[in-house]
Chains A and B, each alone.
Chain A
Amino acid sequence: GENVEQHPSTLSVQEGDSAVIKCTYSDSASNYFPWYKQELGKGPQLIIDIRSNVGEKKDQRIAVTLNKTAKHFSLHITETQPEDSAVYFCAASRRYSTLTFGKGTMLLVSP
């Protein structure tokens, strides 16, 4: 089955800096890669996703890149703000399978 590795487990940045979270996956047939943000005591919320026919996708301060050859994808957050502090999960899935999540990254943005 699919295995998703996520790094780092904790990331501390200053407000205004950029943050990068990286994930690798094992199943070359995986073709859907969402990123979720989970605030304390709440359910995960989708913030951006990318499919295998696209190499990069951007939504305001958030971007995701995908390298299918290397089987890794990354989340980039620019101009970080304190409200970006949360746990971020990457995930991967292939046709006819369910999502496999990474273990999560706790992002702390200091004012």
Chain B
Amino acid sequence: DAMVIQNPRYQVTQFGKPVTLSCSQTLNHNVMYWYQQKSSQAPKLLFHYYDKDFNNEADTPDNFQSRRPNTSFCFLDIRSPGLGDAAMYLCATSRDRSTDTQYFGPGTRLTVL
């Protein structure tokens, strides 16, 4: 049974056209993370929510925003996608922060034309 679900799996958008990626979880975990992963690189943390508390990484561009309307769902909004934002976007969850196991979703592959 899928525990971390991401939709869509593939997203194509145009340069500058806003896009929203979705993540949902059935684990009832407190923490939800968004990572960006470019080809042949490690996942790079963009931000995370600990319950409703939003934590942004210092080097995450303002172009990236997130919403968590409830425990189960979290959204990644890219306000004006550039060509450099083409990547795999991974959602992960954990019961608690830091030393708790993170469970990743399958990812959304974003293409920017």
Contact = CB atoms under 8 A, between A and B. Distances in A.
Interface of A: 31-32, 34, 36, 41-46, 49, 51, 89, 93-99, 101-104
Interface of A is mostly: loop
A95 B97 CA distance: 8
Contacts of B45: 98-99
Contacts of B33: 98
Contact of B90 (A43, A46, A94, A98): A43
Interface of B: 4, 6, 33, 40-43, 45, 48, 90, 92, 97-107, 109
Contacts of B48: 98
25 contacts: A31-B99, A32-B99, A34-B101, A41-B107, A43-B4, A43-B105, A43-B106, A43-B107, A44-B90, A46-B101, A89-B43, A93-B98, A94-B98, A95-B98, A95-B99, A96-B97, A96-B98, A98-B33, A98-B48, A98-B97, A98-B98, A101-B43, A102-B42, A103-B41, A104-B40
Contacts of A34: 101-102
